[in-house]
Structure 1
Amino acid sequence: MLRRITRRGPRGRAPAGPLAHETAAPAAATAPAAAPATDPLDTAQEDRVRAVLSLGGVPHGELQDGVQHVRLRLLERAARGQEAPREVSAWAAVVASNWAMDYHRARRRQERLGERLAALHPEEPQEDGAESRLLSLAVAQGLDELPDSQRQVVVLRFYADLPVRDIADELGIPEGTVKSRLHAAVRVLRTRLHEGEVV
């Protein structure tokens, strides 16, 4: 029977060598590779964010910056270990709306209203396209005339389709305040529509 002979070093201890390292698997080789980061916004959510930004008066060329801001906010939440928002679409719409308001505080809009509307509605129905464009123009001009706080709730309620309760929760204001802002804004928009002889 063959016996394994171990070479002894000084004081009878086996010297450290290749055999001493063979039993330990390299940690780097066995550690699982980090999973690639996934996009926190799906296509529908990104389209919604773009619509909210555009209706909030952000020029077409600046929309991607707003989308990236929303995406970064979601990634920051994940990095801090916070749970994803219960309703990602609603949360993203509010963040986008806030970004649009910040944008207007920082600089004046430079693109014409018609270009923004064209980006939102690239394909108009032929049979009533002219009337639809006129209606959109009148509403958008009315939006431009609203105070930021009123325009924000209008965009979130009628374009992002958020319930009043969700808007109040996300903005941290009472539901009654949301309703009063909506009421005042709708009154201005109706006046704008009548002045334009659309209705």
Structure 2
Amino acid sequence: MDIISLVKKAKKGDDAAFYQLLLEHKEQLYRIALSYMKNEEAALEAVQETSFRSFKAIKKLKNPQFFSTWLIRILINYCNDELKKRNRVIHYDDMSHIAGGKEDLMNLDLYEAVRQLDDKQSHVIILKYFHDMKISDIAKLLNCPESTVKTWLYKGLRQLKLHLEEGGVENHV
């Protein structure tokens, strides 16, 4: 059964259809949550909270074809709210479970530099390069024109390049 049919059934109260939708999106949600929250427990909590919030609000979803975008937006909003609440410092130890080897640990420096960018620029870079999303999908997700996403991407990459060239990221490996 296709996603749109499942969404229509879920909107009518079919719990099994909603569960199937979550199964279809669980890995993507987890990866995005992990990239924001930086540890497995917090990422799992974010996915669980997103599941709960989306279950409560599924009947309000107007366009079934935008279910994935809607679901990811709920997740990102939750993650941002939690990070603001915690206002925590990200430690490299928190991300050691993500890294598979020395090369992955070196990428943590890059990731940390990306997280220091403006929120909009950081979101666009994370979604584009860490989650392989298309500019058009990012624009839908962030509810803005593609040209705006391209501008944020360009500015973010420019700032990232300057930051890295200035040695703003220490080598922790």
Give the TM-score taking structure 2 as reference length.
0.71
In proportion to residue count, which structure has more helix? 2
Are positions 1:109 and 2:80 aligned together? no
What residue identity is the alignment partner of 1:162? Answer: M
Aligned equivalent of 1:184: 155
**How far apart in 1 are the matches of 2:26 and 2:145?**
28
Kept in 2, the 8 Å contact 1:164–1:178? The answer is: yes
Q: 1:28 is matched with which residue?
A: none
Change (3 A) 1:164 1:112: same
Cα drift, residue 89 of structure 1: 4.0
Of residues 130, 137, 141, the one that matches 2:102 is 130
Residue 84 of structure 1: CA displacement?
7.2
Supply the distance in 1 between the matched residues of 2:112 and 2:15 (Cα, whole angstroms).
44
**Is the CA contact 1:58–1:100 (under 8 Å) kept in the aligned structure 2?**
no
Partner of 2:40: 60
Query: Percent identity of the aligned residues?
Result: 23
Contact 1:59 1:109 survives alignment (8 Å): no
- Residues 156 and 162, structure 1, Cα contact 8 Å, conserved in 2: yes
After the TM superposition, which residues 150-161 of structure 1 pair with which residues of structure 2 at under 5 Å, given as runs? 150-161=121-132
* Counterpart-to-counterpart distance in 1, 2:61 and 2:115: 36
- Could you give the per-residue CA deviations for residues 137-168 of structure 1, whole angstroms, max 9, x where no partner exists? 22121122112222111222222322212222
Report if the CA contact (8 A) 1:154-1:185 is conserved: yes
Compared CA separation, residues 159 and 145, structure 1 to 2 (3 A): same
CA separation in 2, counterparts of 1:51 and 1:177?
25
Question: Alignment partner for residue 139 of structure 2, among 147, 164, 168?
Answer: 168
Of 74, 99, 115, 1:95 maps to 74
Q: How many residue pairs end up in the alignment?
A: 155
Runs of 4+ aligned structure 1 residues displaced above 6 Å come to none
Aligned Cα root-mean-square deviation (Å)? 3.0
Does residue 115 of structure 2 align to residue 144 of structure 1? Answer: yes
In the alignment, which of 25, 38, 49 is matched to residue 29 of structure 2?
A: 49
Between the aligned partners of 2:15 and 2:75, the Cα distance in structure 1 is 25
Larger Rg: 1
The unaligned stretches of length 5 or more in structure 1 are 1-33
Separation (CA, whole Å) in 1 of partners of 2:92 and 2:63: 35
Q: How far 1:73 moved relative to its partner?
A: 3.2
**Structure 2 gap segments, 5+ residues each:** 1-12
